[in-house]
């Protein structure tokens, strides 16, 4: 099953619960615009590479479209399409005034020099600058991109359209960014993990956690949960997975990646296991925080964690979702769990437009409030309608987007 079909299936389950009319289903499933562009770029070797970039604008009923930019070798149009759709439901779930979009370039960001990364980014913006803008479509970081890439996007966009920091979020704090954006997704994941544990009458103190992916989201999730008293027993990245039954020394692991080109390779204070084995560990909470599609019908029967918190986008295939639900596993879905990033992106965008600065305390306070509110709404809806949290989250998102579409006269 392709990624976009998986999202469509989750959408349909929620739409059935809402008894959504056929014409609205069609409208909400069809992307507004999909663009594929050629990115010719001179590499350090002197060779001319021709990369492919995508931007999919899914829905704009609730506001300018918003979504990250992913640089990864497996990026293709179908994946970007599914991620753009998830952004539409996610922004609606946390009730921020945006629609959904996503972009990506099929390239292994880990193999690029800083100069190559910058040239690729600027050429990509040359190709799509007319599509994006603070009132139309606002990119942000995702896998393989970070605050440096966002700064280059702003600078390249400005060459065509004049100074406008609100065209992109996730920028460096010293360059029109907002304090707390970098940690926001991981903080939201951590916060809702402790909240969910509490709701399920389990203690955070000493709860065992396995986290797949130790990039932006994985590191900040680990830090938050470590500080909350959880025991992080396994972490991983593209180099492999690392297990320590006594608990990983999270500050030590963070120092290791900082001094080893953002990689856990050769991390000494743990046993080495595979990324596949990490998913099957006997832990209280499993947190996929890397790529999509890692929990499948094949490995789901071997997954032992009673709670899964989807920090990554689309980590669970629908057939695995069904198998796990039957076994009583609670899944906190991506469109709620990882919505902290887009929430603080919204604060950054609002700040940029007002030329007003928020401090870290205020950002954290507002983020926590937004995440808590969305969690409560979805928890209550799930209980009331006797549906899984994922279906409840899609129901809330779809209800808000379809109402906006009706109000604007689109439906
Ligand atoms: P990142 O590039 O900073 O980190 C990705 C991590 O995953 C790295 O540690 C990488 O080594 C690891 N990884 C890559 N392939 C892997 C594999 N096959 N097995 C195990 N680990 C692997 O990316 P990120 O921003 O942390 O994003 C991670 C996930 O979170 C993505 O699914 C992304 O869409 C989602 N997400 C990110 C944000 C954000 O604000 N950055 C917001 C919402 C959702």
State what percent of residues in the chain have pLDDT above 90: 98
Q: Which atom of ligand 1 is nearest to the CA of 315?
A: 32
Beta bridge partners of 101: 57
**How many Å from the N-terminal Cα to the C-terminal Cα in the chain?**
30
* Residue 266 exposed, middle or buried by CB count within 10 Å (0-12, 13-18, 19+): exposed
Q: If you write DSSP's letter for every residue of 205-256 in order, what string do you get? A: TT-EEEEE--SHHHHHHHHHHHHTT-EEEEEEETTEEEE-TT---HHHHHHH
Q: Give mean pLDDT, residues 111-139.
A: 98
Beta bridge partners of 37: 53
Q: Are 3 and 318 in contact (CB under 8 A)?
A: no
| Furthest CA-CA distance within the chain | 61
289 lines ligand 1 (CB under 6 A): yes
143 lines ligand 1 (CB under 6 A): yes
Centroid of ligand 1 to alpha carbon of 88 (angstroms) = 20
Q: Which of 90, 102, 171, 195 is catalytic?
A: 102
Task: Say if residue 218's pLDDT is above 90.
Answer: yes
Task: Say if residue 410's pLDDT is above 80.
Answer: no
For 314-373, what is each residue's pLDDT tens digit?
999 999 999 999 999 999 999 999 999 999 999 999 999 999 999 999 999 999 999 999
Pocket test for ligand 1, best of 189, 215, 257 (most atoms within 8 A of CB): 215
For 52-89, what is each residue's pLDDT tens digit?
999 999 999 999 999 999 999 999 999 999 999 999 99
Q: Give mean pLDDT, residues 109-135.
A: 97
pLDDT band of residue 409 (cuts 50, 70, 90) is confident
Centroid of ligand 1 to alpha carbon of 219 (angstroms) = 10
In 3D, which of 128, 140, 206, 190 has the Cα closest to residue 167?
140
Pocket test for ligand 1, best of 102, 217, 238 (most atoms within 8 A of CB): 217
Q: What is the mean pLDDT of the chain?
A: 97
For 243-295, what is each residue's pLDDT tens digit?
999 999 999 999 999 999 899 999 999 999 999 999 999 999 999 999 999 99
Q: Which residue has better confidence, 264 or 410?
A: 264
Centroid of ligand 1 to alpha carbon of 293 (angstroms) = 13
- pTM score of the predicted model: 0.96
Centroid of ligand 1 to alpha carbon of 144 (angstroms) = 8
Q: Which atom of ligand 1 is nearest to the CA of 241?
A: 20
Centroid of ligand 1 to alpha carbon of 410 (angstroms) = 35
**Cα separation, 358 vs 179, whole angstroms:** 8
Q: Give mean pLDDT, residues 32-59.
A: 98
Q: If you write DSSP's letter for every residue of 307-359 in order, what string do you get? A: EEE--SSS-B-HHHHHHHHHTT-EEE-HHHHTTHHHHHHHHHHHHHHHT----
pLDDT for position 411: 60
Which helix H or strand E contains 152, and what residues bound it? helix 147-161
Q: Look at residue 157 and give its three-state secondary structure.
A: helix
pLDDT for position 1: 84
For 187-213, what is each residue's pLDDT tens digit?
999 999 999 999 999 999 999 999 999
pLDDT for position 226: 98
410 lines ligand 1 (CB under 6 A): no
Catalytic annotation present for 102: yes
142 lines ligand 1 (CB under 6 A): yes
Pocket test for ligand 1, best of 94, 104, 142, 314 (most atoms within 8 A of CB): 142
Centroid of ligand 1 to alpha carbon of 294 (angstroms) = 12
91 lines ligand 1 (CB under 6 A): no
């Amino acid at each position: 099953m392709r990624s976009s079909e998986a999202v469509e299936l989750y959408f349909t389950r929620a739409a059935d619960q809402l008894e959504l009319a056929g014409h609205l289903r069609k409208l909400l499933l069809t992307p507004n615009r999909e663009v594929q562009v050629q990115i010719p770029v001179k590499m350090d070797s002197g060779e001319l590479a021709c990369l492919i970039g995508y931007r999919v604008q899914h829905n704009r009923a609730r506001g300018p479209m918003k979504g990250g930019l992913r640089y990864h070798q497996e990026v293709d149009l179908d994946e970007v399409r599914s991620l753009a759709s998830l952004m539409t439901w996610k922004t609606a779930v946390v009730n921020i005034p945006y629609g959904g979009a996503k972009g990506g370039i099929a390239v292994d960001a880990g193999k690029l020099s800083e100069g190559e990364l910058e040239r690729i980014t600027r050429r990509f913006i040359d190709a799509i600058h007319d599509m994006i803008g603070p009132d139309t479509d606002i990119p942000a970081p995702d896998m393989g991109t970070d605050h440096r890439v966002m700064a280059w996007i702003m600078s390249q966009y400005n060459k065509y359209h004049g100074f406008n920091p609100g065209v992109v979020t996730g920028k460096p704090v010293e360059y029109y960014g907002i304090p707390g954006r970098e940690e926001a997704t991981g903080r939201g994941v951590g916060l809702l993990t402790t909240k969910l544990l509490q709701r399920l009458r389990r203690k955070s103190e000493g709860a065992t956690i396995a986290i797949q992916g130790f990039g932006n989201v994985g590191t900040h999730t680990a830090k938050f949960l470590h500080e909350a008293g959880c025991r992080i027993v396994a972490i991983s990245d593209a180099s492999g997975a690392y297990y320590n039954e006594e608990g990983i020394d999270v500050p030590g692991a963070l120092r290791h990646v900082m001094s080893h080109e953002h990689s856990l390779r050769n991390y000494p204070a743990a046993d080495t296991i595979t990324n596949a084995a990490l998913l099957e560990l006997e832990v209280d909470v499993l947190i996929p925080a890397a790529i999509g599609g890692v929990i499948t019908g094949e490995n789901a029967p071997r997954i032992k964690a009673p709670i899964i918190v989807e920090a990554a986008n689309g980590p669970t295939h629908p057939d695995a979702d069904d198998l796990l639900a039957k076994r009583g596993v609670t899944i906190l879905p991506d469109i709620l769990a990882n919505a902290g990033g887009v929430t603080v992106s919204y604060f950054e965008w609002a700040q940029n437009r007002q030329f007003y600065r928020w401090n870290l305390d205020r950002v954290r306070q507002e983020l926590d409030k937004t995440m808590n509110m969305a969690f409560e709404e979805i928890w209550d809806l799930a209980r009331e309608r006797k549906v899984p949290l994922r279906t409840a989250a899609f129901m809330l998102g779809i209800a808000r987007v379809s109402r906006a579409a009706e109000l604007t006269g689109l439906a």
